[in-house]
Every structure is written in C-alpha cells, then in structure tokens.
Structure 1
Amino acid sequence: MSEDRSDGMLVGASVGRREDPRLLTGRGRFTDDIRLPSMLYAAFVRATVAHATVTSLDLSAVRDVPGVVAAFCADDLELGDITARLGRPAAEFVPTSMPVLARDRVRYAGEPLAVVVARDPYAAEDGIEAARVTYETRTAVTSDAQALAPGAPLVHDEAAANTLVDVSMFATEGIDEVFAGAHQVVGVESRTGRQNALPLETRGAVAAWDDREQQLVLHTSTQVPHQVRTVAARCLGLDERAVRVMVPDMGGGFGLKCVVGREEIAVGAAALRMGRPVKWTEDRKEALTASFLAREQHYDVRAAFDAEGRILGLDADIVCDMGAYSCYPFTAGIEPLMASAEMPGVYRVPAYRVRARAVTTNKAPTAPYRGVSRPQYVVVMERLFERAARELGLDPVEIRRRNLITEFPYTGVNNVTYDPGSYLESLDLCEATLREEGWYERRDEAAAEGRHLGIGYSCFSERTGYGSAAFAQRKMEVVPGFDISEVRMDTSGALTVTTGTMSHGQSHETTMAQIAADALGLTLDKVRVHQGDTDRITYGWGTFASRSIAVGGSAVRLAAAKLGEKLRLLAAHRWDVPPEQVALARGGVRHTDGERFLGHEELADVAYLKAHLLPEGMDPGLAATASFDVFNDGTFSNATHGVVVELHEGTGQVEILRYVCVEDCGVAINPQVVEGQCRGGIAQGIAGALFEQVTYDEQGEPSATSFMDYKVPTALEIPDIGIQHLETPCAFTETGAKGAGEGGTIGAPAAVLNAVNDALRPTGVELDSTPVTPETVASALASHALEHA
C-alpha cells in the first residue's frame, strides 16, 4: 500500500500514524500514569450479592486500617443520582435512577456501596476488606425469561414485569396475510452471550481541586468528556464551568466508555471532601464483573419468502437483557431501539413488524458496545436467508443477490433512507475471491476425506454519522449529533485544530490532521489536533456510533475552509485584486497569474502583527469555528464478509482458515487506519462468535471473574484477514467519508456462524446462537460419526 498519493494530497493516503512514536516508545500518558502531589487512592466497597436490601453498612473498621484516610458511603457524600430518560410515554419507557453509591438496596453483585480513600492502593484494598455489610437478600432475576415470567421479583418496584422499554415501532398493514400467503416461512430463534467490551486500559479517574481556577479537574478515561462534565456537575451540585474534564491517552473504549460511570463521579466527590487529589484505577476483576456489559439478547424472528426466494415480510420479537440500570445518556433503549429501527438492513423487506423490549435483571448494567445490536440482528437476518436457501433449494449467495438493495437512495419499510452503497458489488467480489482461491474445491475435497470445512457469508450495512435527527427519532432527552471544530493558525503558519470527538485508538491525531492540512495546503507536521478537554473544546459529543470522521471530520473540513477563505481575502487585499483571482495553494495562497505567492507565515504576520494592514471589517488573528450535523438518516457504510472454517473432531475446535472482508466506507481518509479498524472489529466479532461470554449462577453471582473463565481469543485464534476496498463517496459529509469503526464487529459473528453451519450440514445440526462452544461442535460431529460408523 502506497504511503503517498501521486497528486500530493493527504486524504486517501496511508500516512503513518502520528500517535505511534509516542505510544510505541512508552511515552504515552494514560490515566494511571498521572501522579499529583499529595495524591490519595480510592477503592470501592462493592455488593457481594446480586439483589438485596442493605440492612447495615459499617465503615468504622475501615477507617482504622493503617493507611486509610477516609471512607464514604452515599449519605456522607450527598450526591445526586444519574438518571437517563427518553421522551416516550410510560407504556414504552420507565426511567430508573442509578445512585452514584447504592443506599438501601443493591441490584447486582459488584454495585458500589462506599468509597475508601487511602495513602496507597494497597491500603485502599485492605480498607474495603474491613467493611461490614449485612443484607436481607431478595430473589435475583438472572435471565430475560425469568424477568418476564408472571409474578417475577421486581428489580425496580416502578418497572412492572421488569420491563424498561417496550416499543412496537413498525407494523405493516396486512402483514399477517403476507405470511399466510407466502410460499415459504422460515424462523430463527437466536440468543447471544453477554460480553465485556474489554478495552486494554480499564476505566480510571484522577480528580483534584484547582484553587486558582476554582475548578474540579477530572482526568478520566472516557469517550464523552462533555457528558461526564454535565453529570458530574449535576451530581456534585456545581456549575458546569466549575468542572473540567480532561482525557489523556486512552487504551480503547469500544462503547464501554461512552456512558457516564458512577466511579468517576464518586472519585470527584471524594477529592472535593478531602481537598486532595484522588485516583481510582479499575482492576480487571472489577472490569469483568462490575463494569458496563453488553450484547445479551434474544430474538424470535420469522421471514416469509416467495417461490423465487424473494423476501416478503419480516416479523420479529426482540428482548434485550439490559441489567440493573439505564446508562446515561442512551438509556436502556439503546439496544432494542437500534435493533427495531435497522433490522431490515441491506435487504428489500416490503413488510415489517417488530416488538422490542429492554428488560432489567440483577446483572451489571448494559452500555453500548461496538456495533450495538447490529451484530445480533445481522446474525438473525443472515441465518434466515441461509435457512430459506436450504428450504427453497437455492444457492445461499444467490438468494442474497435477489434481495439486496441495488437502487439508491432507497427508503425502507423501516422509514430509513439508505444513501448509495455497493451492497451487490461487495458480495460479488467477496464470493469471487473465495472461488478464485479454490476454497469451494477444497471444501469438497475435505468432505471426501471425512473432514469438515464450511464457507459462510454475511452482508450488512453500518449506519454511521448519526446526527441530531436520527437520535431525536429515538426520543432521547439528551440528543447527540453535531460536532464543533475550531482551527487556529499562529504566526509561524502552524495550525491547531480542536475536535469534539475523542480518540481511543482510532488515529484521530492523524486523520483529522490530514483533512485540515489538505484543506489549507499545509504539510502534516504543521498541524496539531487537540481533543478531550472540556475547557479547550467548545463542545462535543465525543466518539461513538462511527461518527468521528463522518461528523467530526466534516466540522474540521468546514472550519478549515472558513479559515482558508480568510486567507484568500487577506491575500487579495494585499495584492489589491478581486478575491476570485486568488486561490489556496500548497504552503500558502497563489494568484491565478501563477507568479504572485504569499506563504502562510507571511499572511499570519499581517493578521497578528500588522493589524493596521488588514482590510476593513476583518478581525485580527487567523481562527475559524464551524459546526456540522447530519439532518438526514445518516450515512451507510457496507461490507460483505466471507469465512472458511474447519471443524475438528474430538476437540470441537473451530479453526478459521480464511477470512475475506470487502468493505466500502466511502472515501477512506487513511486506508491503513480503515484496515486497522476492520481487523480489530473482526477480532472482536470472532470473539463474540466463538469465545467470550459473561455468565452468572442462579443467585446472580458472576462466574467469569478472570481470564481463566472469560475466554478471550489470542493471536493464534485470529486469522490473517484479507481486506479489499470499494469506494462509494458519501454525498452528505464534507469529505465523502462514511464511518468505519464498527463494521468488522457487525459482520463477523454471522459469517463465522454461517461457515460453522455449512461445515455441520452433513450432521443435520444447525446453530443459531453465539458463542458457539467446542462442546456443541464436538457433540454434533461425534453423533454424526456414530450414526455413520
């Protein structure tokens, strides 16, 4: 892959990541690297039962532990609750307040009850061991079936039937008749395991009071610094200007850190009470059991087809286990609303009915995790097409071709308008790649040898660049969407760019700089990007839902264009010519005669140091600010994944022999970065398909408390991934780019599951749920072997 474009432009070139020299040489600065004078360390007393009334909480012995400085419960800190709301009627949504520290009731094992502050982290850990908590236990609700059962114990007294969200968003008139008259009806019931987003860097926070600025300064590992500022100010009873949130380098987030956590607020409260800096770093056991989780969903779906394999209707019932509380700001609606609105995906579905519910259980609460419901409903849609192909005697690739959206813009039965994409082209190229490499012949040869090879596909779109309009449709009380960027050139001609997005590994320091540099004719070394500081950044919604380049990058491009216009006007004035005779050029501004040229430094010298030479009405300095929002239904990246697996008898191991991804994210600002996003996402998708699952016992105690039990794939389990690019530029963003952050995770589980089922076809066993365990595969293969012995 070429590092540079022949035309000298940076957008579209795989320039090296500017973050790498710092991060790869150990010069990164993460939350846990922060050391402040007189700093204290925090640890949390956590509930040891899943559901109970707290009858007593005694911290007296904690305060006597050597090294412990203080211990605070909810009553000591007098904090407000964290409450997220949807503007929906009571029949559709029930809000639940999440206390920063639990008071008289705990609703999941690991819920924080008190914070211990000590001189070192070891004393803080000793302190939490000395806490004495007594409970009157209640029956724990540990599954969606139990939550919805008549007479089930209530996790929240105000949530009847343990239901926080219950929406029926679409119901095509006459859909029952569609199913009654269909040539073929197929069904899929699918469950997906609860997962942890598992960023390399766990959550953490360092809080300190700044007397000079009269501010609580909170360093925290978050994707949404401005949202943390808002909630911290409200819970602590401070003006927002009295809270400054700063994000250092961040070792991954994947959605887990795009909600506001209780611990970062409690650490801020402790710092205010102590008058000293306080640090908390989440350990891995806390991260696996008490942090935000995701994914546990149950789908019961039918699809109607005609004799030629064209889908006629889709009827879905979706239940999402959201754990004990709604997250802020997205609420418990984040997963069921996503699934309802977008399930038809890349296919022309003429009739659609869906009911989606979020149930509350005695488990750690759910936050968005890379893909948010799309990996789950793509599994269901792709299994429906595989099953229909089998019943109708069609090739599984051909039935997809007959149903893919090919004319754009396309408004679906879900009232979503899809912008142009390469749905059919990506499927054709993916299949052609596997055929040309000979995998179909190898599958047949393996079958003749008694081995089990399978080939599977998944086709999907990734809705990216959600703007205010899309989030408003969900009736969120807090409506994310826009982004704001400021660009400022100094007297040396160097540029500082701010963005309201927040990098947690996506190379924003590189890609945002590429956009700004191209817009103004700068070299990359002349651009510096700043993010993650609520005092420095006007406002921003942070990074989630693949919005950073689509929305944030567009704001950067607009702000740079505004500054470029000022440079043009300044040069026109200096030359006393009409602005139409002046154009931006590499390194500065050039007259259309090709002879006159003013460099950025020369123009900045006038703008700052010779203001008397500025044209009338022009302000001194070189700065511009712009905002960008998406007011349509968003932009849709798309891809097809193709997978070849081999199943091993005896062990039940699923070995991935080949993985091909054909993706289209519009204009790739940096193709190498896009490929990194694809590969990382695919690894997480494979993890969900084959390995990772958070489990609980009947009492609601988490069973996967370490990597001994929570099975994470290593480099040995993740194959080399072949990536091919298509490019359908987006008409709704300033750069032509669409998002690329979640596609790998969205497509991988379905492709892997379909390949496993293809390999299992001789056994008659079909699997519709994930993760696929070695025990299940081994059992199917062994039973088949016995039958044919």
Structure 2
Amino acid sequence: MRSAKDDRLVGRAVARREDPRLLTGHGRFVDDVELPGMLHAQFVRSTVAHAALAEVDLTQVRQVPGVVAAFTAMDLDLGDITAQLGRPLTEFVPTAMPVLARDRVRYVGEPIAIVVAIDAYAAEDGLEAAKVTYETLAPVTCEDQALAPGAPLVHEEATHNTLVDVSLFATEGIDEIFDNAPCVVRVEARTGRQNALPLETRGAVAHWDGREEQLVLHTCTQVPHQVRTVASRCLRLDERAVRVIVPDMGGGFGLKCVVGREEIATAAAALRLRRPVKWIEDRKDALSASFLAREQHYTARAAFDVDGRILGLDADVVCDMGAYSCYPFTAGIEPLMASAEMSGVYKVPAYRVRGRAITTNKAPTAPYRGVSRPQYVMVVERLMERAARALGLDPVEIRRRNIITEFPYTGVNNITYDPGSYLESLNLCEQALKEAGWYGRQAAARAEGRHIGIGYSCFSERTGYGSTAFAARKMEVVPGFDLAEARMDTSGAVTVTSGTISHGQSHETTMAQIVADALHVDIAKVKLHQGDTDRITYGWGTFASRSITVGGSAVRLAAAKLGDKLRAIAAAEWGIPPEETELDRGRVRRRDDPDAVLTHEHLAETAYLKSHLLPKDIDPGLTATAAFDVFNDGTFSNATHGVVVELHEGTGQVEILAYVCVEDCGVAINPQVVEGQCRGGIAQGIAGALFEQVTYDGQGEPSATSFMDYKVPTAHEIPEVTIHHLETPCAFTETGAKGAGEGGTIGAPAAVLNAVNDALRATRVELDNTPITPETVHRALTSPALEQTP
C-alpha cells in the first residue's frame, strides 16, 4: 500500500505494467486471434496505377483448392468510405473511396477483390488465378503533372486534381512589408514520401455472433469507434450490431488512425459467409499499398529587419495526398495543419499562406506522426539559418531575437499559445553542446579538413486538440472530447475505461498512475480497459498527442467523482458532511479523527451488498463517468533539438555524433515513458531526414516493396540521445500534462538538415530537401559548384 498521502505516482518513472506480458510473449495481437472454423483472406490488387476495370474474372479463383469464396465490389454491394470537409466547393473537392474498386483503379495495390480460403497459403494461390482486364489510363505521378493544364483526372467526377485549396491569414500590406524589408530569404524544400512502418502490419479478424446478433471485428486500429461507424454504414447495419475490439497493438504512428478498406471488406466477407475471416497484411502490401505520408513541397520566404527580427512569412504548400481522402481526416489534414501552425514558436507579425492537397495515382495519405510539422518546422528553421548567414548573425542568436517569451501569446495565425519554455529550452540545448565541448571539437576538426556541423531546431507541438480546434478546420467529423468511467468492485479494485487506445504509449501504466493518485490507492488495484466499443461508451482514439491531455483528464475526472462517492458513503455512515472526510491509502478518513477510517472494501460492500443502508440521494454501486474536452486552442509542448554531425567525404555518409533534446511537455506523468516517446520520435525523424523515401516511376509503380529498397535506419544509425526535461504545467488539463507523442519526430529533420548544412559551410552549398542521400552529400563535398543555392 501507499505509505503516505504525498507519495504521489504522477511524475515518477513507475515501471511499465505492460512489459511483463509483452516481453514474455503473452501479448495478444490480431494475428494471435484464433477462432473455430476460421478462414483466411487476401486481396487481389491492382497492378497498374490508373485504369478502367474492364473485367474482374474470379471464376478460376473459386476453383483453386482451398479457396472458399471470392468477392468483388459488386458481389458484396458495399457503401463507400466517404470523408468530408465542411468547406466550400471552391476549397474542398469531395471524393468517395470504395471498399473494393468498382469501375476504376487509381493506384498500384488498390484492392479489387477479396479471396477467402482455408489457410493463408491457399488464399495466396487464389490471388494468382484472378484475371483482371484493364483499360489503361494515363497516370498522374507527380505535382507538375497533377497541376498541369489539361492533366488527366485522377477522379473523373472532379474538374481538376486539387482536392483542397485554402488561402489563410493574408495580413494586410504583406507585399509592402517584403518590398521594403532589408533582408528577404527564400527556401524551396521537398520532403520524401514515407511509410509510418509500424512493427505490426494492419490486420483484422471478423466473425458473426449469432447470439448477440452482432458482427465482431478484431482489428489493430487507433480509432475503434470510427471503424465501427464506417463498418456499420458500409455494411448497412445498426452501430449496435458492430463491435470493434482492439487487442495489443504493435505500433500505429497515425497509419492506423484512419479507417482502412481491407478491414471493412474482411468484415463484409465474414458477414456474408457467417464464418470467422482473418486478414493479415504482408510486408510488401504494407510498404507499397498501405497509407503513406509526408510528400510535400514548400516555397517560402521570410522578411527580416537589419537586427534579424522577422517581419513577415509567406508560404505556398503543396501536399501530394495520393489517390483518396482518408476517413475521417480527409485530404485536408496535411495542408491545413501546415497552414494553421507554421509560424510556430516565433513572433511573426505578418503571415500569408496557401495550402493545397493534390491527388495523384499513388497510395493514399494518412496522418503520420507529427502531421506536416516536421516539414514546416524544417522550412522555418531553414529560413532562420539562411537569414542568420545573410545578416552575419549567430544562428542561435537570431532565434533568441524572434522566439516567443511572453505568454499567453496570440499569434498572427489567431492561435493562443499557453505558457512554455521556448527560450529556456534553446539556451539549455546550446549550453549542453558547449559544455560537452562540441564547438571546440568542431573547430579542431575543420582545421584537419573534416566536415563537422552543429544544427538546431526550435518548435512547439500543439497537443490536446479539442473539438473547438478541429471545428475551426471545418471538419464534418469533429473529434475532440473523451469519455471515461471508473468503477470499484467489492474487493476495492478499480477498473477504468478510456476512449483512447494504446499502441505502445504505456497507457496501462500512465492512466493507472493518474487513477491511483486520484483515489489514493495502490497502483496494483487499478486496471485499464480500452479498445472495445461495447465496453467503452465512446471515444476518438489516439492521435495528435491527445491520450494524456484529453483522455487522461477524463480518467482523472472520473476517478475524482468515484472518490467523491466513496467519501459521501463514508460521511453518511458517520453522520457528518462529506467535506469532513478525505481519501487516504485505500481508506476514507475523518479529518477530525485520524484514527477513524473506513476501508474501500467496507464502503464497496455497503454500496453493492447493503444498499438499503445508503441514503436516498446516493445510488447503489460505485461507478462514475466523466467527459473532457479542450475548448481553447489546445496546449503546446515545446522543445529544442541540437545535433552534431560529421560528413564523410569518401562515402557521403552522414554520421550523427551527438544528439541533445530539451523538452517541456508540462507535468510528465511518467518521465521514463516521455523519454521513450522522445527517443522513438527522434529515430523516426532521423529516418525521414536521411533514409526513408517511397518514389514512383513514370507509370506509377512504387519503388519500395521490400526492405531491400526502403531504407530503414537500424540501431547503428540512431545515436544515443541526451534528454533534458523542463516543466511548465498546463493550465487546461486535469493533470498539468501536455502531449509528448510527436515532438521527437517534429524536431529531428530540421536539426539534422541544419547540422548538415553547417558542415557544408565551407563549400557554400545549402541543401533543403529530405531525405539527404549519400550521393547528394558526396556531390556537394566534391563538386560544390553543382549544388550551390542561388
């Protein structure tokens, strides 16, 4: 038991409660679900990027030994997955994504038919017998093609290939500001298309429960209630007739926070056959045909005065979103994020931005950890670096002159930033690198002809988006709130539910810490339930670093309400007001008599087994529910990353010698978990900066269908990361916590790119695109004239 009232668990590195199960092989993932009579499914997928479907002949498929059934879109008669933005048609073009392609295919890997067999091998054999006849159409494979006059249309019902086109925050007189500015710098940057690459690929197991008259769908999703909604609509069932269960999940990173076509088709096959059906995505399909992200093009300029203070920011953003809008976020997720928040941690007095989402014949895009923030932070930080060089200023000093220091601060983007440690994190990061001797080592290395560079990035991570923030983007489906329930049984054990869903974030630990503190009970008494639409009233799932900020706040409120009921029952037994009692170590204590206590077990027995003793104003049982939403602009974590790299002339390799992260996510519920989020996010950010990219040839064929082609960094390429914590408690959440899930990914590309450019300083070469390939670095070091920036 807890030994003292002030022995709080929030803020302590409590050991992860998930680890004993997961590390001993007792985790239960989708592929571990085995049901009697279960069949296995795989998908006939398009082999061309753009074509009309002349014929889909599954006759031979159905004759393959072991194949039980094969269905096309016409066989299953499913509704479409439709994502909407409530913006005018001039700003947003709606498109429907069929569960299985019907008349046209729009990317290589698009599912056309589902094959169901007695085992996975027979299903694969069945795929080879499918005969699909295409009437090939010209594919659109890049931005220039998509935006060209008279370009082929990815969606024939549209008049152009731009799905979202918004112009925001056009400050009056901004052109005059740029015309008169002493210093104007420009950056044009492109970032590579990436795969979120969770360790566990997507998958689903569906079966019909005849007793409950309910379709049960086990799937690895970050948004179980959204999957339920879409499945019920596509299958034309009441939502009550669909139950979505999420077992343990091996990563998601945003890839699984949208509704996939394959999980709906698997459910449809199980419903038709009245037998369990399992689909597990293979790695080839996961790399080439799953949701991708990050392919963006920025053209930006910034105006500065002679002292290095920014006067204005002007940007054009084009995001290649692939063939379809995802549900529920739509193709607007990337350009709207970039447009709304690009000014970031700096005091930008004038701002103009145009954000566009274009559609191409590539796999569609889903939110990926950070959603545009790694890209626009990289662009803004490059502008800072370029201005520093133009004005002869130290790159850290120019940031100091522009960074937000007074809070709350309402930016030119009409977003109000809550208090943070923007300047403090920058100063501490620079101090850490100086005290480690890196500036001296850099000077010595340059004297030896070696190429060592130091780079920084400063950024904020908007977290805890509530319904107000999402509604401002004019979304038809408006995420935001979360619901939680706390229930105590007669043994004094507590079960808490949350609408968030863990895919590696340690919810079973951090949520239990919050509840244990709120009820003053041993953490071993607390159990979290998540990821079951029949047990969780409603929830928006996990994305945008909302789990602790929003979900944790709802859990804290529900636990506090349960504690109030315990105190009310105890007070009634003693005949005193509830405010004269307090919770303490699994008991309720009288404030005026510390020796007078009633255990939770005693109070639970009264609530359940002796309810006749309860006053009429107290209901039987010990259950409390609570909702939480954020009705302001959200809360902002912040950080500064500092990186030291060495460029190797012979190979063009970029070696990271040191990495420092100074982060502030408010109250860290569990510092060890926060550090894990930082390190994992930084690894993904480094991957985007130096390694990962999916490209397409002129016919729309993806380049990366295996790890031979898709370059994923290993432990050898990811450096040890030194992490320093600052703490500015949040005033808008119940725990004082801000989100911490995406910051590592947001800051890493900019810091790495700036460090590389610092290492190239003597060559007068500047690089602005990612990933930074060895070929590019080698060419810059050996033939600098070919790479010079105008």
- Taking structure 2 as the reference length, the TM-score comes to 0.98
Map of 2:510 onto structure 1:
511
Map of 1:353 onto structure 2:
352
Instruction: Label 1:614 to 1:4 Cα distance change in 2 as closer, same or farther (>3 A).
Output: closer
- Percent identity between the aligned chains? 80
Map of 2:234 onto structure 1:
235
Say which SS state the counterpart of residue 643 (structure 1) adopts.
Answer: strand
> Is the contact made by 2:5 and 2:585 (CA closer than 8 Å) also made in structure 1?
no
Give the CA RMSD over aligned residues: 1.3
> Is the contact made by 1:704 and 1:710 (CA closer than 8 Å) also made in structure 2?
yes
Q: Count residues with an aligned counterpart.
A: 785
Q: Distance in 2 between matches of 1:741 and 1:5?
A: 32
Say which SS state the counterpart of residue 595 (structure 2) adopts.
Answer: coil
Could you list the per-position Cα deviations for residues 592-635 of structure 1 after superposition, in whole angstroms to 9, with x for gaps in the alignment? 12121111111111111111111221100100000000000000
Q: Distance in 2 between matches of 1:578 and 1:289?
A: 64
Map of 2:657 onto structure 1:
657
Q: Distance in 2 between matches of 1:302 and 1:700?
A: 32
Aligned pairs for 1:85-104 within 5 A: 85-104=84-103
Could you list the per-position Cα deviations for residues 456-475 of structure 1 after superposition, in whole angstroms to 9, with x for gaps in the alignment? 00000000000000000011
Say which SS state the counterpart of residue 377 (structure 2) adopts.
Answer: helix
Q: Distance in 1 between matches of 2:619 and 2:578?
A: 17
Cα deviation, residue 140, structure 1: 0.7
Could you list the per-position Cα deviations for residues 639-688 of structure 1 after superposition, in whole angstroms to 9, with x for gaps in the alignment? 00000000001110000000000000000000000000000000000000
Cα deviation, residue 581, structure 1: 1.3
Cα deviation, residue 415, structure 1: 0.4
Say which SS state the counterpart of residue 108 (structure 2) adopts.
Answer: coil
Map of 1:382 onto structure 2:
381
Say which SS state the counterpart of residue 29 (structure 1) adopts.
Answer: coil
Q: Distance in 1 between matches of 2:554 and 2:571?
A: 26
Could you list the per-position Cα deviations for residues 263-302 of structure 1 after superposition, in whole angstroms to 9, with x for gaps in the alignment? 0000000001111000000000000110000000000001
Aligned pairs for 1:384-463 within 5 A: 384-463=383-462
Q: Distance in 2 between matches of 1:268 and 1:783?
A: 57
Cα deviation, residue 161, structure 1: 2.7
> Is the contact made by 1:4 and 1:15 (CA closer than 8 Å) also made in structure 2?
no
- Is residue 2:695 matched to residue 1:695? yes
> Is the contact made by 2:465 and 2:634 (CA closer than 8 Å) also made in structure 1?
yes
Q: Distance in 2 between matches of 1:500 and 1:225?
A: 9
Q: Distance in 1 between matches of 2:731 and 2:5?
A: 24
Q: Distance in 1 between matches of 2:786 and 2:595?
A: 85
> Is the contact made by 1:650 and 1:782 (CA closer than 8 Å) also made in structure 2?
no
Q: Distance in 2 between matches of 1:166 and 1:194?
A: 20
Map of 2:208 onto structure 1:
209
Letter in 2 for 1:202: T
Say which SS state the counterpart of residue 650 (structure 2) adopts.
Answer: coil
Cα deviation, residue 170, structure 1: 1.2
Map of 2:774 onto structure 1:
774
Aligned pairs for 1:183-332 within 5 A: 183-332=182-331
> Is the contact made by 1:554 and 1:628 (CA closer than 8 Å) also made in structure 2?
yes
Say which SS state the counterpart of residue 552 (structure 1) adopts.
Answer: helix
> Is the contact made by 2:255 and 2:366 (CA closer than 8 Å) also made in structure 1?
yes
Map of 2:617 onto structure 1:
617
Could you list the per-position Cα deviations for residues 543-572 of structure 1 after superposition, in whole angstroms to 9, with x for gaps in the alignment? 000000000000000001111111111111
> Is the contact made by 2:421 and 2:664 (CA closer than 8 Å) also made in structure 1?
yes
Map of 1:67 onto structure 2:
66
Map of 1:686 onto structure 2:
686
Letter in 1 for 2:450: R
Map of 1:83 onto structure 2:
82
> Is the contact made by 1:4 and 1:13 (CA closer than 8 Å) also made in structure 2?
no
Map of 2:126 onto structure 1:
127
- Is residue 2:681 matched to residue 1:673? no
* Residue range with higher mean Cα deviation, 763-772 or 776-785: 776-785
Map of 1:554 onto structure 2:
553
Letter in 2 for 1:660: V
Say which SS state the counterpart of residue 161 (structure 1) adopts.
Answer: coil
Cα deviation, residue 6, structure 1: 11
* Residue range with higher mean Cα deviation, 661-670 or 150-159: 150-159
Q: Distance in 1 between matches of 2:111 and 2:250?
A: 24
Say which SS state the counterpart of residue 60 (structure 2) adopts.
Answer: helix
Q: Distance in 2 between matches of 1:434 and 1:552?
A: 36
Aligned pairs for 1:510-659 within 5 A: 510-593=509-592, 594-659=594-659
> Is the contact made by 2:765 and 2:784 (CA closer than 8 Å) also made in structure 1?
no
Q: Distance in 1 between matches of 2:314 and 2:36?
A: 60
Q: Distance in 1 between matches of 2:149 and 2:3?
A: 64
Letter in 1 for 2:129: A
Cα deviation, residue 578, structure 1: 2.0
Q: Distance in 1 between matches of 2:147 and 2:47?
A: 25
* Residue range with higher mean Cα deviation, 584-593 or 283-292: 584-593
Structure 2 spans left out of the alignment, 5+ residues = none
Say which SS state the counterpart of residue 596 (structure 1) adopts.
Answer: strand
Say which SS state the counterpart of residue 724 (structure 1) adopts.
Answer: strand
Q: Distance in 1 between matches of 2:755 and 2:363?
A: 32
Q: Distance in 2 between matches of 1:454 and 1:404?
A: 23
Cα deviation, residue 257, structure 1: 0.1
Q: Distance in 2 between matches of 1:680 and 1:578?
A: 49
Cα deviation, residue 4, structure 1: 12
Map of 2:500 onto structure 1:
501
> Is the contact made by 2:4 and 2:585 (CA closer than 8 Å) also made in structure 1?
no
Structure 1 spans left out of the alignment, 5+ residues = none
Q: Distance in 1 between matches of 2:547 and 2:60?
A: 48
Letter in 1 for 2:366: A
Q: Distance in 2 between matches of 1:762 and 1:6?
A: 60
Could you list the per-position Cα deviations for residues 119-159 of structure 1 after superposition, in whole angstroms to 9, with x for gaps in the alignment? 00000001001100111111110111110011111101233
Letter in 1 for 2:472: Q
Cα deviation, residue 780, structure 1: 1.1
Q: Distance in 1 between matches of 2:437 and 2:616?
A: 70
Say which SS state the counterpart of residue 734 (structure 2) adopts.
Answer: coil
Q: Distance in 2 between matches of 1:750 and 1:511?
A: 30
Q: Distance in 1 between matches of 2:108 and 2:159?
A: 22
Instruction: Label 1:419 to 1:584 Cα distance change in 2 as closer, same or farther (>3 A).
Output: same
Q: Distance in 2 between matches of 1:479 and 1:310?
A: 37
> Is the contact made by 1:637 and 1:665 (CA closer than 8 Å) also made in structure 2?
yes
Say which SS state the counterpart of residue 306 (structure 2) adopts.
Answer: coil
Could you list the per-position Cα deviations for residues 511-547 of structure 1 after superposition, in whole angstroms to 9, with x for gaps in the alignment? 0010001000111100000000000000000000000
Map of 1:19 onto structure 2:
18
Q: Distance in 2 between matches of 1:145 and 1:555?
A: 47
Cα deviation, residue 246, structure 1: 0.1
Could you list the per-position Cα deviations for residues 4-28 of structure 1 after superposition, in whole angstroms to 9, with x for gaps in the alignment? 9994211001000000000000000
Letter in 1 for 2:190: R
> Is the contact made by 1:4 and 1:14 (CA closer than 8 Å) also made in structure 2?
no
Could you list the per-position Cα deviations for residues 715-738 of structure 1 after superposition, in whole angstroms to 9, with x for gaps in the alignment? 000000000000000000000000
Map of 2:180 onto structure 1:
181
- Is residue 2:139 matched to residue 1:164? no
Say which SS state the counterpart of residue 55 (structure 1) adopts.
Answer: strand
Could you list the per-position Cα deviations for residues 98-137 of structure 1 after superposition, in whole angstroms to 9, with x for gaps in the alignment? 0000011000000000000000000000100110011111
Q: Distance in 2 between matches of 1:148 and 1:662?
A: 41
Letter in 1 for 2:147: L
Q: Distance in 1 between matches of 2:5 and 2:710?
A: 48
Q: Distance in 2 between matches of 1:363 and 1:494?
A: 50
Aligned pairs for 1:323-342 within 5 A: 323-342=322-341
Letter in 1 for 2:679: R
Q: Distance in 1 between matches of 2:427 and 2:30?
A: 46
> Is the contact made by 1:149 and 1:161 (CA closer than 8 Å) also made in structure 2?
no
